[in-house]
Chains A and B, each alone.
Chain A
């Protein structure tokens, strides 16, 4: 969702990263762009000002220091500020010593409280808890009915009493204790932060259930008002965390940044789709990387982990780095990639991807000619594509229903890709083999065999900050950009 912001920042950073020294004028330009980018992303004006001032201090410092590339310093300053502003770490739920753990949901009308109550209940279920939901929204017609329907879908009981929202909350808590449910989620009516009467009502509901966590649900599309709303709710209820809803849209979600900055409470969860399980804990570090054009590499990896088996992944990565990657491997990877989801979506998550590629609308059907060409090759040709000459070309083209020129292009590009991979592999050679021993967890097991521990991405020409000009695959010649 922060795509456009990252594109814009990429543009700015390209301007300064090559320079040995930043002039005052450069800094002014950079700051103006950063400011506009943040404002267009709906970051609150006041927050933009303070963030920009802090970045500016670092950037000015950059003009005086020759120790570091000033471009790098600006990148670092922006990254530090955004990460800091988004919150350092993921909020982890501490369950009440004496169950149940009570969660209160609050927010404006239409922000997504009811839906997210159910998503949160579902999330607690996945953590092995036994939630119950209380419908205290007696304002909107059919709100409780909506909650009950959702409750049935996820097999979570719903308590509500049409008489009074405060009594409903209190009685619901008793009911939860009686049923031995260990998490209670109280859904409340949406209300405007300036509606004194309704704010008093939610304060009383809060008093009746004494929540362990009060979550404010905020729509990712919210503009400047996010700050006023968050402040008002925080003053009334002491917000513990924020749930960002509708994060699957293309809103840049500056509200996330503003709210964290203003009330000092973390974004706890993000709702990322319409399905009930499209809900996850918020990872500020990922989001900051994404703003900076890192792409959401971690999300991509997790998706990859689902699609590829570990062994496959290790073998592929190792071959890749050693430059022994054949067209067969390529075909296999390509098929696995297809399992990860539409290619367009994957491209969007890639760091520093040129805009032309990001925007290219690719249908999975477009892959068919590539598949056809490779499958029309003999096993030998797939390992040594160099032998594909004259008649072989014609045969492959005929077999795959493509043209000789298509076959040529594919073979040529594959050659270039191999060359580049070899180069990367060489750069990493001096290190020792293998990941660190003794570490549990999938992370280290997924470490490709044969990949040197000291492998330095920057040295290999791979800029992990995902900056333009290094679109994840530097040195790849002749690419259309």
Chain B
């Protein structure tokens, strides 16, 4: 870092402060009196919580807390209702058919048809970039007279999207390790996406499928996170390794791996605290958890990024950042049973090449299912 740039930055800040005082005064002196009464006390707020830019060190002190993680929990073990993803999501979908039926309601393909399709894609959180891309493919086909009917437009879009998601390996990776080591499946993501619940559901499924599982409560940060995971361990009758609140998550996961290996357990499901991908120290911590998990008799064979279906365009950034520190191998899309369509995973898979492997579509333990890309696209474009 050259002296020049450092000095420049300092100069900017020093000057900016001077200007800031002026601007502030102008504002307080009646430029916007109705919004900013001059008498407003400006004492620093208690605890100094007024910053919008958080650059603090990792907060593992007892005074800190994490936003609410996962939430509604299934009543214990119930059989999943039968039916396809699409059928099961019908109630959520019915409210939004507007834009798509607009396309079909016209006798011919017009500019409005494209606008309606764009709106449908945007509403599903596909993102403006990919929506433009998909539509330009359609426009080209219309121009070449390959498509002449409005229904053909929808079919072509459906086919194009399915094509883009085709061929990915969506199975959960399990390896038989020579040295009797254990598979470690890590779960990462921002706060409140459903990591702990996903682990709970997946554990039950793996146990039912005949594998032995141990849970490692790597979220040592959020109040009562370990209690939440313990409830899940009890529901599937598997062992759990916990650390003290505020303990180093790497050591909890390491202990879990060691214990699992010594008992010949197949899979360790490692929970981690939710963290915003912008906090570099917390992301470093996550990288460490992954490295330490392989220090002993374990191999990380899956790192699953959990994404909430309501997530907007920020999801792509999350996937990129988590991918950088933990080498994410798959995405779990949760809460798809709500009114959100989870289109951001389309962007994550097609732009970053991270396959979506599982979908959470309800609150019962069976409501975690394999991701079916065709069903997903059909549900997204439900007419």
Which residues of A are in contact with B by a Cβ distance under 8 Å? 1, 36, 39-42, 45, 88-89, 108-116, 118, 122, 126, 137, 139-143, 145-146, 148-150, 153, 189-194, 198, 219, 221-226, 228-229, 232, 245-252, 254-255, 270-280, 285, 290, 296-306, 308, 313, 316-317, 320-321, 330, 333-334, 337, 341-350, 353, 357, 360, 362-363, 366-367, 369-370, 373, 402, 406, 409-410, 413-414, 417, 420-421, 435-436, 439-444, 446-448, 451, 455, 457, 462, 464, 471-473, 476, 479-480
Contacts and interface: CB of A to CB of B under 8 A. Distances in A.
Contacts of A146: 68, 222-225, 227-228
B339 A194 contact: yes
A285 B35 contact: yes
A221 B190 contact: yes
Contacts of B73: 139-141
Contact of A337 (B13, B26, B56): B13
A221 B38 contact: no
A226 B340 CA distance: 9
A277 B125 contact: no
A345 B55 contact: yes
Contacts of A479: 8
A276 B309 CA distance: 27
From A41, A246, A347, name the one whose CB has the most chain B CB atoms within 10 angstroms: A246
Nearest to A287: B52
25 contacts: A39-B128, A40-B313, A42-B314, A110-B71, A222-B311, A223-B313, A232-B339, A248-B276, A249-B190, A250-B314, A251-B313, A251-B314, A272-B52, A274-B65, A296-B52, A297-B24, A301-B24, A317-B21, A345-B51, A370-B3, A413-B7, A441-B40, A446-B24, A473-B12, A476-B11
A417 to B, nearest CB: 5
A276 B304 CA distance: 29
B19 interface: yes
Contact of A320 (B14, B28, B62): B14
B58 to A, nearest CB: 9
Given A110-B68, A343-B9, A302 B42 contact: yes
B210 interface: no
A246 B128 CA distance: 23
Contacts of B83: none
Given A110-B71, A223-B312, A192 B339 contact: yes
Contact of A441 (B28, B70, B71, B318): B28
B51 A299 contact: yes
A445 to B, nearest CB: 10
Contacts of A279: 49
B34 interface: yes
A345 B50 CA distance: 13
Contacts of B127: 40
A320 B191 CA distance: 44
Nearest to B70: A110
Contacts of B49: 272-273, 275, 277-280
B167 interface: no
A439 B312 CA distance: 45
B330 interface: no
Contacts of B81: none
Given A142-B228, A337-B13, A472-B15, A225 B340 contact: yes
Contact of A350 (B13, B65, B69, B124): B13
Contacts of A346: 13, 53
A48 to B, nearest CB: 9
Contacts of A221: 190, 308, 311-312, 314-315, 318
Contacts of A137: 71
Given A250-B278, A277-B46, A142 B28 contact: no
A443 B38 contact: yes
B59 to A, nearest CB: 5
A442 B43 contact: yes
Interface in B125-164: 125, 127-128
B50 A410 contact: no
Interface in B295-350: 308-315, 317-318, 335, 337-341, 344
A306 B17 CA distance: 13
Contacts of B339: 192-194, 225, 228-229, 232
B67 A246 contact: yes
A133 to B, nearest CB: 13
Nearest to A2: B52
A413 B69 contact: no
Given A142-B231, A271-B67, A272-B49, A112 B191 contact: yes
Nearest to B337: A192
Top 6 A-B residue pairs of the complex, sorted by shortest distance between their CB atoms: A223-B312, A110-B192, A277-B47, A109-B71, A42-B312, A190-B71
Given A89-B34, A153-B63, A249-B314, A343 B193 contact: no
A363 B232 CA distance: 43
Given A225-B339, A313-B21, A473 B55 contact: no
Given A232-B339, A472-B12, 16 more contacts: A40-B127, A143-B224, A153-B223, A223-B340, A249-B276, A250-B278, A250-B314, A276-B65, A313-B17, A317-B18, A345-B54, A350-B12, A350-B16, A362-B1, A402-B3, A440-B39
B338 A457 contact: no
B63 A441 contact: no
Contacts of B54: 248, 272-274, 278, 345
Contacts of A367: 6, 10
A150 B223 contact: yes
Contacts of A446: 21, 24-25
Given A88-B35, A191-B72, A436-B29, A303 B51 contact: yes
A341 B13 CA distance: 12
Contacts of B45: 126, 277, 280
B107 interface: no
B353 interface: no
A409 B8 CA distance: 11
Contacts of A476: 11
Contacts of A320: 14-15, 18
A304 B19 CA distance: 12
Contact of A413 (B4, B276, B312): B4
A304 B10 contact: no
Given A109-B72, A252-B314, A417-B11, A300 B16 contact: yes
A145 B278 CA distance: 28
Contacts of A457: 19, 22-23, 26
Nearest to B24: A301
Contacts of A126: 45-47
B42 A305 contact: yes
Most chain B beta-carbon neighbours within 10 Å: one of A189, A232, A447:
A447
B340 A224 contact: yes
Contacts of B32: 285
A424 to B, nearest CB: 8
B238 interface: no
A164 to B, nearest CB: 15
A29 B131 CA distance: 19
B244 interface: no
B63 A406 contact: no
B308 to A, nearest CB: 6
B192 A223 contact: no
Contacts of B230: 142
A409 B124 contact: no
A347 B9 contact: yes
Contacts of B16: 300, 350, 472-473
B68 A115 contact: yes
Given A222-B310, A223-B125, A473-B11, A451 B39 contact: no
